[in-house]
Chains A and B, each alone.
Chain A
Amino acid sequence: MHYQMGNSGSYPLLLLLWLLPLAGAIVIWAFGPQLKRLAGALGSAVVGASFVATLLSWHDGTQSVAGAGANLVGAHQALVSWLPGFDFGLLLDPLSLLWVCIITGVGFLIHVYSIGYMYDDKAFARFFAFLNFFVFAMLTLVLSDNFVGLLVGWGLVGLASYFLIGFWFEKPSAVAAARKAFVINVAGDVGIMFAIFMIVASVHSIAFGDVFGNVGSLSTPWLLAICICLFIGAAAKSAQVPLHTWLPDAMEGPTPVSALIHAATMVTAGVYLVARCAPLWSQNADAQLLVGIIGGITALAGAILGCAQWDIKRILAYSTMSQIGYMIMGVGVGAYEGGVAHFFTHAFFKAQLFLGSGLIIHALANEQDVRRMGGLMKKLPFAFVAMLVGVLAICGIPGFSGSFSKDAVIYGTLQHGHPILYAIGILTAGLTAYYMFRLLFVTFFGSYRGDVDPSDLGIRHPELAGTAHAAHDDHHGEHHAPAWLMNVPVGILIVPSIFAGWLLFGGEHSPWAQFFAQQFPHPTLPTPAISELTTTLIVLACVAVGIGVAYARYATAAAQADAVERLRGESVRMPALLTNAFYFDAALDLLFVRTSQLFGTIFGRLIDPQIIDGAVRETAFSAQWLGTLVRSFQTGLVRAYAFVLVIGVACFLVYYAVISGGLH
């Protein structure tokens, strides 16, 4: 059964917003040396133009026309046609429109910010070429109208992420982190690939429409297998347990990259995938439960590990992981609107937090260890305001954007009948408040500790703590970028960080619910025992406890007075379980890397040289041996030839005697 998605037509704006970043990437990559500083302006302008085109396409993306048998929502542009069911086109419906808005909108702000942040980098143009390439790849991912196009975008964003994590490739740690991220992401890609194989085998089409329209014809185990394979890809890209270990390491990339790719957009691709495949998940409760549980575990694990970090970007990385856990939990249990809303608000406030931390890192000459900060409130008041807004938003303080979306997710789990996930959500909210305020207090309160001996602060390897890199340090004294280039994007982001959540205000009649009215399934749900207001109050109580503990430990007058001593004590007493991130790296290393190495060793030492090469060698040797053997007959002695000839004659005669002599 063919199932149409989106109103087919010609949408030049859609093509334009999709291809502009690619053109920008190619031009900047090709003419980087000529463009010099203009590369940043060009890259930003391209993404800005893409954003404008997105806004102009708003009507196309949200149009709803009563079509044959179904309400057609959004715009569909056919591009390439191979076989029936194997076409490639662009689909702009409310879900992809939301993502495109974030990718191009937040992407534009981060591009502008990057002009200031990367001003002194010797590979300025390369950075913007990669960044534009990433935007193109991400747009391909969310605009594709079929699974293969999605996988292409999926792989390309992984590649862009690899380029950008390893942007400072002089640093071995950056190269290692890039490689790790790429390998884990490719493992996820393989998962999606297998899902596509199964989809094609059963539906004979890769188009979203055909797959979703025929979901009823799939057997339950088959559907579960497809969902699991899809989720392996989603988990790898969205840093879900146990495939999350690459995300904290990915912070080796420049801070704008962390903000754009590893917080706002790329890592939420998993959320997009699950939300996009809502028709699949809605048909299989087991798959939903699996995704919900993984999301819950990730949310909690990320929050716990966030409490144990000292690197400002790693704290934010674990918080990102935790928040994506929320989103995945939301879309997993079926609360699609809540999960997607959390993506929406998170994109703003997490970009805000990363860009704010970028201001600090930039001002402190690449210092990233919060123990060596402190008292920055007076020194960097704007960064403080930006970080404060971000922290309040992520903690879910009422009125800030995070509160609406996070409550929607937490309440959604209860609505869909998962009280344990509900409890995890509330607990994680409290932990989030604790570690985010810990970050805020340690960084901005008290007095500056940058001149304290690192060992007094419990920093074991000061040379490893910061990620100061030579390319940046060399030019630090001669800083020319105007401050507004970095401050303005952060300032603009403050607005949606506070107000984006208000779109959810009003429950079923909110603009948000209207926007997605035709996007997601809306089953009728029983009213849970705990009301939404009560849930909000419980969450707030937990958040208050978290903030209180953080205040008591880091922000009281007594704590500020002996901050050095206290930080050292905390660093020293930190449980090994937390400093080693629950030993996930070690476990993955043991499970996959060591086993692969073992197999590699077996194959390299034994099978390849002995059996494969051995077979080849033996072939050659046997030919040589055969040659030697045959050569030995060629003695050059006439009598020897005659002897062999007589042997032949004798054989004939014996045979002749046997057959004619009555022996048969």
Chain B
Amino acid sequence: MIAFSILAVMLLATAIWTISAKKPVYSVVALLAHFAALAATYLMLHAEFLAVIQLIVYSGAILILFLFVIALLSSGVAPFSVGPNKMPKLAVPAVVLALVALGALSYGVAHLAAPTVTATPGAAPLGPVGAADVFGSVADFGKALFTTYLLPFEITALVLMVAVIGVILLAGDRTPYVATEKQAREVRREMREAIVRGGDR
């Protein structure tokens, strides 16, 4: 209980820091702390494999990607030269709305009659974290993933592949699609103007 309270305070504090930091790099740092606390919380819930995944994938891959993009964009001049705030009065209603939704959700969950859910037939029993063949262990998780949930897992592969192709299409070099560099510059200039025009409208 004490551990949960400490972790909860950490999670909330880092979450608020993430969304309120002036510079994105501070947000990344806060988010890193948030993810670490979250991994600890997962351990408390006997999800040891997911705790590790959380650290490796989120902290190790996704956040690094963020940092990489920040570094890329910061190499230019005033990458985040923010224009006029077009919805300056959104903050208060957004927060109020979030609170209303939160209240409704909490109220609903608090009064929810717990459904009768039985344990997964093949699931391992609860045991000390780190032991083999207990609930949340690699063996337990892997068995479920490659037997019962094989099809969703394979579809995940497809999703990732589509994402990779999308990224290449979006961020890849455009020159193969135009005949000359001059033409490519022209296209880029037109797109830029279109975006600027659209933004000013």
Contacts and interface: CB of A to CB of B under 8 A. Distances in A.
A660 B90 contact: no
A653 B90 contact: no
A657 B113 CA distance: 12
A652 to B, nearest CB: 9
A656 B111 contact: no
Given A636-B201, A647-B97, A650-B97, A657 B105 contact: yes
Contact of A653 (B86, B87, B105, B201): B105
Q: Is the interface of A mostly helix, strand, loop or mixed?
A: helix
A577 interface: no
B108 A657 contact: yes
Interface string A623-664: 000000000000111011001001101100110110011100
A653 B108 CA distance: 8
B104 A654 contact: yes
A650 B90 CA distance: 16
Given A653-B101, A656-B105, 17 more contacts: A636-B198, A640-B87, A640-B90, A643-B94, A646-B94, A649-B101, A650-B97, A650-B100, A650-B101, A650-B104, A654-B101, A657-B104, A657-B105, A660-B108, A660-B111, A661-B110, A661-B111
Nearest to A659: B108
A639 B87 contact: yes
Contact of A661 (B87, B94, B107): B107
Nearest to B94: A643
B101 A646 contact: yes
A657 B107 contact: yes
Nearest to B101: A650
Q: Is the interface of B mostly helix, strand, loop or mixed?
A: helix
Most buried by B among A636, A650, A656: A650
B100 A637 contact: no
Contacts of B105: 653, 656-657
9 tightest A-B CB contacts, nearest first: A657-B108, A650-B101, A653-B104, A657-B104, A661-B111, A654-B104, A657-B107, A656-B108, A653-B101
Interface residues of B, number: 19
Contacts of B90: 639-640, 643
Interface string A398-438: 00000000000000000000000000000000000000000
Most buried by A among B86, B108, B110, B111: B108
B160 to A, nearest CB: 25
Instruction: Give the bracket for the number of chain A residues in contact with chain B.
Output: 10 to 19
B112 interface: yes
Interface string B161-183: 00000000000000000000000
B150 interface: no
B97 A646 contact: yes
Interface in B87-140: 87, 90, 93-94, 97-98, 100-101, 104-105, 107-108, 110-113
Contacts of A656: 104-105, 108
Nearest to B112: A660
Contacts of A661: 107-108, 110-111
A657 B198 CA distance: 40
B179 to A, nearest CB: 32
B101 to A, nearest CB: 4
28 contacts: A635-B86, A636-B201, A637-B86, A639-B87, A639-B90, A640-B87, A643-B94, A643-B97, A646-B101, A647-B97, A649-B101, A650-B97, A650-B100, A650-B101, A650-B104, A653-B104, A654-B100, A654-B104, A657-B105, A657-B107, A657-B111, A660-B111, A660-B113, A661-B107, A661-B108, A661-B110, A661-B111, A662-B111
A640 B101 CA distance: 17
